[in-house]
Amino acid sequence: MELLKERIRKDGVLKPGNVLKVDNFLNHQMDIKLMNEIGKEFKKRFEGEQIDKILTIEASGIGIAAIVAQYFDCNMVFAKKSKSINLDGDMLTAKIESFTHKRVYDVIVSKKFINPGEKILVIDDFMANGCAARGLCKLIVDAGAEIVGIGIVIEKGFQSGGQDLRDQGFRVESLAIVDGMDDEAGTIQFRE
Ligand code: 5GP
């Protein structure tokens, strides 16, 4: 998605540790016009697919997924990061290691909100090692629902998550794939 790549080139900030900061338009301040274009693009890429619900993870996935859900005319559910796992069986749970915070979270979704047989699209802001996406897919499988695909705004293609998930047969659609970045030189390469 050319508009997104241009915006990353203009406003993205490269940080040590292979972190790309996009606080100016995606992760803190959100450019809603751009979010709408992102929603349209996901709708185009998953055209013809039945999507009953969108699943994302708090916090930075929520705003994006809410806008994307408008284009699919469906509800959005977000997995919550939880300090205490409730064991009474009414929650779906997964463990997710945070790439940016380097810690493991238990994430939960109420079983009420993902129903057996529902067709679910996973949406997230970034893909690095694929831990967040894999955790969200586990919640869907445990609910007896179906994963239609995984839509990612920015995939860091030099980290293995996206390729691993594609190799496992998942449909991963990323709107911009970064193949390399150098925080010292301030350069970023996108996949064509
Ligand atoms: P993964 O689970 O694929 O390793 O990492 C994906 C998650 O980590 C995303 O939900 C995102 O919040 C965060 N993340 C990973 N890499 C970056 C990055 O370069 N920049 C930002 N802002 N977040 C990232």
Please give the distance, rounded to the nearest whole angstrom, from the Cα atom of residue 36 to the centre of ligand 1: 21
Kindly give the number of the ligand 1 atom that is closest to the alpha carbon of 124.
Answer: 10
* pLDDT one-digit tens code per residue, 9-38: 999 999 999 999 999 999 999 999 999 999
Please give the distance, rounded to the nearest whole angstrom, from the Cα atom of residue 19 to the centre of ligand 1: 8
* pLDDT one-digit tens code per residue, 153-179: 999 999 999 999 999 999 999 999 999
Please give the distance, rounded to the nearest whole angstrom, from the Cα atom of residue 88 to the centre of ligand 1: 31
The token pair at 153 is 């705004």
Query: What one-character-per-residue DSSP string does 42-55 give?
Result: HHHHTTT----EEE
Residue found under tokens 């991963």 = 172
Question: Ligand 1 within 6 A of 128 CB?
Answer: yes
Angle between helices 2-11 and 32-45 (to 10 degrees): 140
* pLDDT one-digit tens code per residue, 46-75: 999 999 999 999 999 999 999 999 999 999
